[in-house]
Amino acid sequence: MSPNPRPLSLKPVSLPLGDVLELLRLVWAVDHGLQRTSKRMEQQLGITGPQRFTLRLIGRFPGITAGQLADALNVHASTMTGIVKRLMKRKLVVRRADPLDRRRSALALTGEGRALNVAPEGTVEGAISQVLATLPKGQVQSARAVLAALSAALDVREGELKAAAG
Protein backbone atom coordinates (compact mmCIF):
# COMPACT_ATOMS: atom_id res chain seq x y z
CA MET A 1 0.00 0.00 0.00
CA SER A 2 1.39 3.39 -0.93
CA PRO A 3 1.95 5.89 1.91
CA ASN A 4 -0.41 8.44 0.37
CA PRO A 5 -3.17 6.59 -1.46
CA ARG A 6 -5.07 8.58 -4.04
CA PRO A 7 -8.11 10.08 -2.32
CA LEU A 8 -11.47 9.12 -3.73
CA SER A 9 -13.43 11.87 -5.36
CA LEU A 10 -16.52 12.73 -3.38
CA LYS A 11 -17.56 15.52 -5.71
CA PRO A 12 -20.51 14.78 -7.98
CA VAL A 13 -19.65 12.85 -11.12
CA SER A 14 -20.68 14.09 -14.54
CA LEU A 15 -23.02 11.14 -15.02
CA PRO A 16 -26.65 11.75 -14.07
CA LEU A 17 -26.71 9.07 -11.35
CA GLY A 18 -29.83 10.21 -9.53
CA ASP A 19 -30.27 10.28 -5.78
CA VAL A 20 -30.10 6.53 -5.13
CA LEU A 21 -26.94 5.78 -7.11
CA GLU A 22 -25.22 8.98 -5.94
CA LEU A 23 -25.85 8.10 -2.29
CA LEU A 24 -24.70 4.54 -2.95
CA ARG A 25 -21.51 5.88 -4.54
CA LEU A 26 -20.83 8.00 -1.46
CA VAL A 27 -21.58 5.14 0.96
CA TRP A 28 -19.14 2.92 -0.95
CA ALA A 29 -16.54 5.69 -0.87
CA VAL A 30 -16.94 5.91 2.91
CA ASP A 31 -16.73 2.11 3.22
CA HIS A 32 -13.55 2.09 1.13
CA GLY A 33 -12.09 4.87 3.28
CA LEU A 34 -12.95 2.97 6.47
CA GLN A 35 -11.27 -0.19 5.15
CA ARG A 36 -8.17 1.72 4.01
CA THR A 37 -7.84 3.59 7.29
CA SER A 38 -8.39 0.41 9.30
CA LYS A 39 -5.53 -1.32 7.42
CA ARG A 40 -3.24 1.65 8.03
CA MET A 41 -4.20 1.69 11.71
CA GLU A 42 -3.29 -1.99 11.95
CA GLN A 43 0.13 -1.24 10.46
CA GLN A 44 0.77 1.81 12.64
CA LEU A 45 -1.06 1.03 15.90
CA GLY A 46 -1.32 -2.75 15.73
CA ILE A 47 -5.13 -2.72 15.87
CA THR A 48 -7.84 -2.38 13.24
CA GLY A 49 -10.69 0.12 13.23
CA PRO A 50 -13.22 -2.36 14.72
CA GLN A 51 -10.66 -3.42 17.35
CA ARG A 52 -10.04 0.23 18.26
CA PHE A 53 -13.79 0.89 18.47
CA THR A 54 -14.12 -2.12 20.77
CA LEU A 55 -11.18 -0.93 22.86
CA ARG A 56 -12.71 2.56 23.16
CA LEU A 57 -16.05 1.14 24.30
CA ILE A 58 -14.42 -1.12 26.89
CA GLY A 59 -12.43 1.88 28.12
CA ARG A 60 -15.55 4.03 28.35
CA PHE A 61 -17.69 1.27 29.91
CA PRO A 62 -15.45 -0.94 32.07
CA GLY A 63 -17.21 -4.23 32.81
CA ILE A 64 -19.13 -4.22 29.51
CA THR A 65 -19.98 -7.69 28.23
CA ALA A 66 -19.20 -9.12 24.80
CA GLY A 67 -22.94 -9.23 24.08
CA GLN A 68 -23.30 -5.53 24.87
CA LEU A 69 -20.34 -4.79 22.61
CA ALA A 70 -21.87 -6.83 19.78
CA ASP A 71 -25.10 -4.86 20.13
CA ALA A 72 -23.24 -1.52 20.21
CA LEU A 73 -21.17 -2.35 17.13
CA ASN A 74 -24.12 -3.99 15.36
CA VAL A 75 -22.18 -7.22 14.70
CA HIS A 76 -22.93 -10.88 15.30
CA ALA A 77 -21.78 -12.29 18.65
CA SER A 78 -19.30 -14.59 16.89
CA THR A 79 -17.69 -11.60 15.17
CA MET A 80 -17.35 -9.86 18.53
CA THR A 81 -15.86 -13.01 20.06
CA GLY A 82 -13.12 -12.94 17.41
CA ILE A 83 -12.38 -9.26 17.99
CA VAL A 84 -12.21 -9.71 21.78
CA LYS A 85 -10.00 -12.81 21.44
CA ARG A 86 -7.54 -10.87 19.26
CA LEU A 87 -7.47 -8.02 21.77
CA MET A 88 -6.91 -10.51 24.60
CA LYS A 89 -4.13 -12.24 22.66
CA ARG A 90 -2.41 -8.85 22.32
CA LYS A 91 -2.89 -8.38 26.08
CA LEU A 92 -4.98 -5.24 25.57
CA VAL A 93 -8.13 -6.62 27.20
CA VAL A 94 -8.86 -9.01 30.06
CA ARG A 95 -12.00 -11.00 30.74
CA ARG A 96 -13.20 -11.32 34.33
CA ALA A 97 -16.13 -13.21 35.78
CA ASP A 98 -19.06 -10.90 36.46
CA PRO A 99 -19.36 -10.67 40.26
CA LEU A 100 -23.18 -10.62 40.01
CA ASP A 101 -23.50 -13.50 37.54
CA ARG A 102 -20.60 -15.96 37.27
CA ARG A 103 -21.94 -17.20 33.90
CA ARG A 104 -21.18 -13.81 32.35
CA SER A 105 -17.83 -12.18 31.71
CA ALA A 106 -16.99 -8.52 32.09
CA LEU A 107 -14.26 -6.95 29.96
CA ALA A 108 -11.63 -4.44 31.04
CA LEU A 109 -8.56 -2.81 29.53
CA THR A 110 -5.06 -3.78 30.58
CA GLY A 111 -2.34 -1.17 31.00
CA GLU A 112 -1.36 -1.72 27.36
CA GLY A 113 -5.01 -1.34 26.35
CA ARG A 114 -5.30 1.92 28.25
CA ALA A 115 -2.20 3.18 26.44
CA LEU A 116 -3.99 2.69 23.09
CA ASN A 117 -7.24 4.16 24.41
CA VAL A 118 -5.96 7.69 23.83
CA ALA A 119 -6.24 10.56 21.37
CA PRO A 120 -7.75 9.51 18.07
CA GLU A 121 -5.13 11.09 15.78
CA GLY A 122 -4.74 9.01 12.62
CA THR A 123 -7.80 6.86 13.34
CA VAL A 124 -11.26 6.54 11.83
CA GLU A 125 -12.56 8.10 15.03
CA GLY A 126 -10.25 11.08 14.56
CA ALA A 127 -11.48 11.68 11.02
CA ILE A 128 -15.10 11.50 12.14
CA SER A 129 -14.40 13.87 15.03
CA GLN A 130 -12.80 16.41 12.67
CA VAL A 131 -15.74 16.29 10.26
CA LEU A 132 -18.36 16.53 13.00
CA ALA A 133 -16.62 19.60 14.42
CA THR A 134 -17.12 21.41 11.11
CA LEU A 135 -20.82 20.64 10.61
CA PRO A 136 -23.88 22.32 12.10
CA LYS A 137 -25.70 20.15 14.65
CA GLY A 138 -28.74 19.84 12.38
CA GLN A 139 -26.67 18.35 9.56
CA VAL A 140 -25.13 15.84 11.95
CA GLN A 141 -28.58 14.84 13.20
CA SER A 142 -29.82 14.49 9.61
CA ALA A 143 -26.82 12.37 8.65
CA ARG A 144 -27.40 10.11 11.68
CA ALA A 145 -31.05 9.73 10.71
CA VAL A 146 -30.20 8.78 7.11
CA LEU A 147 -27.50 6.30 8.19
CA ALA A 148 -29.77 4.75 10.85
CA ALA A 149 -32.63 4.36 8.36
CA LEU A 150 -30.28 2.86 5.77
CA SER A 151 -28.84 0.42 8.31
CA ALA A 152 -32.32 -0.63 9.42
CA ALA A 153 -33.48 -1.11 5.83
CA LEU A 154 -30.44 -3.25 5.04
CA ASP A 155 -31.06 -5.35 8.16
CA VAL A 156 -34.71 -5.89 7.16
CA ARG A 157 -33.69 -6.81 3.62
CA GLU A 158 -31.06 -9.27 4.93
CA GLY A 159 -33.71 -10.89 7.13
CA GLU A 160 -36.08 -11.20 4.18
CA LEU A 161 -33.37 -12.80 2.01
CA LYS A 162 -32.44 -15.29 4.76
CA ALA A 163 -36.09 -16.20 5.26
CA ALA A 164 -36.63 -16.74 1.52
CA ALA A 165 -33.50 -18.91 1.29
CA GLY A 166 -34.25 -20.84 4.46
In the prediction, which pLDDT does 6 show? 46
Phi, psi of 99 (to 5 degrees): -65, -25
pTM above 0.75, yes or no: yes
Please tell me the CATH code under which domain 18-134 is placed. Answer: 1.10.10.10
Residue ranges per structural domain of the chain = 18-134
* 52 vs 109: CA distance, rounded Å: 12
pLDDT, tens only, 80-89: 999 999 999 9
pLDDT, tens only, 87-105: 999 999 999 887 777 778 8
Q: How many CA atoms lie within 13 A of 20 on its CB side?
A: 0
Tell me which residue of 55, 49, 30 sits closest to 126, measured CA to CA.
Answer: 49
**8 Å CB contact between 119 and 81:** no
